[in-house]
Structure 1
């Protein structure tokens, strides 16, 4: 397939809409938290924009201009006293009001509010997920659950879907365990052995409580090339629902356990960036990779979308706390440096640091997007 055909196959319209909605809600609440902490401390907020770029609609309300902007990729708040103010003769100077005169703890509270909101949202969604869907238990090894169906493959033509559970092959139930090359293997792996042989195959498939038979002729190799059915699969996962208090505690534990993994993922991204390594990394995705994951989740179940939203909010929270100028973590670092020095950085110093940080973040975004796009060539 061509690049555009591959891209169209990976990104569904529903997936794109869900991507915009999930990212839009996460960003809106992030900026709303900055807005709320500034207003709570008596600092004016000049504007609040949903979206970036050219402003489509604007309406003043309670001292803030609320905007709807063209590009649905985030948003921003313009807090009084955070940006340099214009002085005489068209020069700029350090601001002398609003955010600039807050105590150190007040500034940090405004900056921390956004990432903490994403963290709270992730914990809240996890609590709902664990209490409504449940937490995964010991998987069933005698049932193979399809995790993903690759576009344009034989599996898609046969009508197989993510979430389908294969319980039997050619009328024989999958065993709990079986032996391959003298080693004991879980029964769901026998699906691979069945596809290593030519002949007519019949899968017994369960979907939403109903059972159906999927029969097809199969050639394991064509012109010496190993054929692929086009499914990713694993053992069926059984879920156990929790009470809301237990789900909340489990959510906090899960978040704490996820922190090292997220930090390692970002560390791997920076290593690849500095070494210009464009090899694929399943731990960090750019906008296209995220839309592809959401497209697959949308085809699987609503709970899969919730899990993507949880991961996205956790990633946003911790990424924004990285001490890079231009991010919330970088601003917090500069605030702490000013407090330790007993005086803030000069306007020239702060602008130079922020420009360098912004340039770094933009280059990092370009790197991630290029790596995303390269997969389709």
Structure 2
């Protein structure tokens, strides 16, 4: 059930993203020919008002198609309702609408959390820092740390509990690049001692592990609807900033951080784990993945909304359309890159699943 819940959330986020493009086009009277979830061969389809709604075989995203892209379309090339014949600002809105839809969804989810779960009011903490995930091949995995371990002390210094314990551990790791730290930890009730040597990332220690307070977050009833809105605004801004910072770090320190990039399999695994916990975790997971999807699609890369927006910007600067061959080559290279990267991440993440590791005898 946890996996199905995570898959349903991801599918919903894709639908919302593509619905943003779809409604931005139809609202402006622009012709749309298809709305697809997934890529490749069609598994299920339904025609309605000249639009093909389809579920496709490769579940790695989705797309909205336009008659402009169909060489066999019977619609005249000078039809004013074709996307290509609309002003730049109308086409820009269609392109940006997917990102906007995901950000609005994240805000709505956090609004729902504030309304039905409550406003965060602290943490019911127990001693230690919980390791919620470990990146294979990096310092944490090399030390023997595993997801579910609880770190209690570093070099004999008790960490205490709550968010302050996480912050203290992070600072200790950051300040010890290429230095060995002695961890006192607990795994399924058994005490253990581990030696952890953070990698040196431009003078800052990194270990490749996800850390969180050991315990559960406490919520209270909101005092007013205004407080719910303010909390949602704050959380969306914070999550967006952290997501953007993560992408910037990936670009500026690619060699050191590329191994931490996760694909669909890892995202589903994380969602399945949170679905079992229930409560507020699933709200936050949905909002975070929706914001990640928005920021990812805003990148100026082929096949992504940011890449199409960049082409539109170049067209505006040239004051005439870009050559079709150039646009086609740009988008096709992006498709190959996207599919290749997705395949690599799926293989990498699948190989790190606990069940696969057991089969391999690791």
User: Conserved in 2, the CA contact under 8 Å of 1:52 and 1:73?
Assistant: yes
Alignment-derived partner of residue 85 in structure 1: 71
CA offsets 1:256-293 (integer angstroms, 9 cap, x no match): 222231122223444576x49663x2xx4211111110
Alignment-derived partner of residue 54 in structure 1: 41
Partner SS, residue 345 of structure 1: coil
Alignment-derived partner of residue 96 in structure 2: 112
Alignment pair present for 1:304 and 2:281: yes
Change (3 A) 1:187 1:70: closer
Partner SS, residue 53 of structure 1: strand
| 310, 319, 332: which one aligns with 1:355 | 332
Alignment pair present for 1:237 and 2:230: no
Q: TM-score of the superposition, structure 1-length normalised?
A: 0.67
User: Conserved in 2, the CA contact under 8 Å of 1:148 and 1:296?
Assistant: no
Change (3 A) 1:341 1:18: same
CA distance in 1, matches of 2:77, 2:70: 5
Change (3 A) 1:220 1:337: closer
| 252, 261, 267: which one aligns with 2:242 | 261
After TM superposition, list the pairs within 5 Å mapping 1:1-377 onto structure 2: 14-81=1-68, 83=69, 85=71, 96-97=78-79, 98-141=82-125, 185-186=159-160, 220=191, 234-242=214-222, 243-270=224-251, 275=255, 279=259, 281=260, 284-376=261-353, 377=357
Cα offset, 1:145, TM superposition: 9.7
User: Conserved in 1, the CA contact under 8 Å of 2:302 and 2:331?
Assistant: yes
Partner SS, residue 299 of structure 2: coil
User: Conserved in 1, the CA contact under 8 Å of 2:17 and 2:102?
Assistant: yes
Q: TM-score of the superposition, structure 2-length normalised?
A: 0.70
User: Conserved in 2, the CA contact under 8 Å of 1:99 and 1:107?
Assistant: yes
Cα offset, 1:77, TM superposition: 1.8
Change (3 A) 1:362 1:276: farther
User: Conserved in 2, the CA contact under 8 Å of 1:43 and 1:80?
Assistant: no
Consecutive unaligned residues of structure 2, counting only runs of 5 or more, are: 135-147, 166-182, 196-210, 358-362
User: Conserved in 2, the CA contact under 8 Å of 1:118 and 1:314?
Assistant: yes
Count of residue pairs the alignment pairs up: 300
User: Conserved in 2, the CA contact under 8 Å of 1:24 and 1:73?
Assistant: no
Q: Which moved more, 1:329-338 or 1:52-61?
A: 52-61
Partner SS, residue 30 of structure 1: helix
Alignment-derived partner of residue 140 in structure 2: none
Cα offset, 1:115, TM superposition: 1.1
CA distance in 1, matches of 2:258, 2:57: 31
CA distance in 1, matches of 2:32, 2:26: 7
CA distance in 2, matches of 1:75, 1:113: 14
Cα offset, 1:105, TM superposition: 0.4
Q: Flag the structure with larger Rg.
A: 1
Partner SS, residue 50 of structure 1: strand
CA distance in 2, matches of 1:49, 1:187: 47
CA distance in 1, matches of 2:105, 2:212: 30
CA distance in 1, matches of 2:155, 2:336: 54
Consecutive unaligned residues of structure 1, counting only runs of 5 or more, are: 1-13, 88-93, 151-161, 163-177, 197-215
Cα offset, 1:130, TM superposition: 1.8
CA distance in 1, matches of 2:280, 2:330: 42
CA offsets 1:159-182 (integer angstroms, 9 cap, x no match): xxx9xxxxxxxxxxxxxxx99989
